[in-house]
Amino acid sequence: MCKQMRLRNITGSDETIKNSKYVVTNPTEYKGKWNEIFGNENPVQIEIGMGKGQFIMELADRNPNINYIGMEKYSSVLLRALQKMEQKEVPNLRFLCEDAKLLKEYFAEGELDQIYLNFSDPWPKDRHAKRRLPSKEFLALYDHILRKDGKIEFKTDNRLLFDFAVEQLALTKWSAEKLTYDLHHDQEMVEGNIMTEYEEKFSSKGNPICKYIISRTK
Ligand code: SAH
């Protein structure tokens, strides 16, 4: 393999990402001062595991007075979002090619205004439960970086993952303000809904979409 393959990978996505003005490649240096990146004092919201970015790009476009960060672990996936951004720049959006487990290194206490999790990886094996983005371990991380009255929104078609996510709440400070097992038929919750790539794919197969909005109201 591997020299050639690795080289191709580097010139393909890693290098592009390193050189892109839309990607923050040194996020630890901005801990506590993300507003410097955006050049204003507007609130900052994040999608963790954004994939190709359809949701966060539309959300940012609709809300120019909020700043957004799209976080995606894999450069090959993030590249798709970058390509879209080059076609149509969204000024209040930046990307991070990082792993969510390091969130505390990138954001100060209470620095974020809202967190979105969409179609997070299910990690079906019990011993991998901690890796699930709505796990109690991740909820503790979010508790640190999200402002006190901040909310987390989570959508998935994976009923097992959603049931797990709901069960986890009882073990944490978080509780559900709103919850549905069929978002697209819930008149109130579907209002203003922005479809993600996975949501389009799985709902077109007939899968109902589950969603909760949680906060620390206990
Ligand atoms: N939100 C998109 C993609 C869902 S797939 C959509 O709804 O269409 C889940 C994505 O989360 C994948 O792209 C995966 O690489 C990313 N991801 C999983 N774990 C992550 C982590 N710990 N940190 C950052 N991204 C992660």
Residue 29 covered by a domain: no
Domain residues for the domain of 89 are: 3-14+42-216
Number of structural domains in the chain: 1
- Give residue 156's pLDDT: 98
Give the three-class secondary structure for 164: helix
CA of 108 to the centre of ligand 1 (A): 22
C-alpha gyration radius of the chain: 17
Residue 1 is predicted with a pLDDT of: 40
Q: Within 13 Å and on the Cβ side, how many CA atoms surround 93? A: 24
Is residue 33 a part of any domain in this protein? no
Output the six-digit token pair for 39: 């050049």
- The reply to whether ligand 1 has any atom less than 6 angstroms from the CB of 97 is no
Residue 25 in any domain: the answer is no
Q: What are the residues whose beta carbons fall under 8 Å from the beta carbon of 70, sequence distance 6 or more?
A: 46, 47, 50, 53, 56, 57, 78, 81, 93, 94, 95, 96
> What's the pLDDT score for residue 218?
56
- Identify whether 34 is part of a domain: no
Q: How far is the CA of 48 from the centre of ligand 1 (A)?
A: 7
Question: How many angstroms does the Cα of residue 47 sit away from the middle of ligand 1?
Answer: 9
On whether the CB atoms of residues 46 and 102 are closer than 8 A, the answer is no
- Identify whether 136 is part of a domain: yes
pLDDT value of position 23: 97
Q: Is the CB of 153 under 6 A from ligand 1?
A: no
Res 115: pLDDT: 99
Does the CB atom of residue 36 touch ligand 1 within 6 A?
no
Dihedral sign of CA atoms 200, 151, 125, 181 in order: negative
What are the backbone angles phi and psi of residue 117, rounded to the nearest 5°? -120, 120
Q: What is the pLDDT along the chain (218 residues), one digit of tens a residue?
A: 444 454 455 557 888 898 999 999 999 999 999 999 999 999 999 999 999 999 999 999 999 999 999 999 999 999 999 999 999 999 999 999 999 999 999 999 999 999 999 999 999 999 999 999 999 999 999 999 999 999 999 999 999 999 999 999 999 999 999 999 999 999 999 999 999 999 999 999 999 999 999 999 75
Whether 144 maps to a domain, the answer reads yes
- With respect to residue 149, please indicate whether it lies within any of the assigned structural domains: yes
In this structure, are residues 160 and 122 in contact, taking their beta carbons and an 8 Å threshold? yes
Q: What is the pLDDT of residue 2?
A: 42
Domain with 129 in it: what CATH number?
3.40.50.150
Q: Is 134 in the pocket of ligand 1 (CB under 6 A)?
A: no
Question: What residue's CA is closest to ligand 1, atom 17?
Answer: 49
Q: Does residue 31 lie within any of the structural domains?
A: no
For the whole model, what pTM was predicted?
0.95
Residue 10 phi, psi dihedral angles, 5° rounding: -65, -50
What's residue 12's pLDDT? 74
The active-site residue, picked from 61, 121, 143, 186, is: 121
Residue 121 is a catalytic residue: yes
Give 39's Cβ-side CA count (13 Å radius).
5
The residue whose C-alpha atom lies closest to atom 10 belonging to ligand 1 is 49
Predicted local distance difference test score (pLDDT) of residue 3:
45
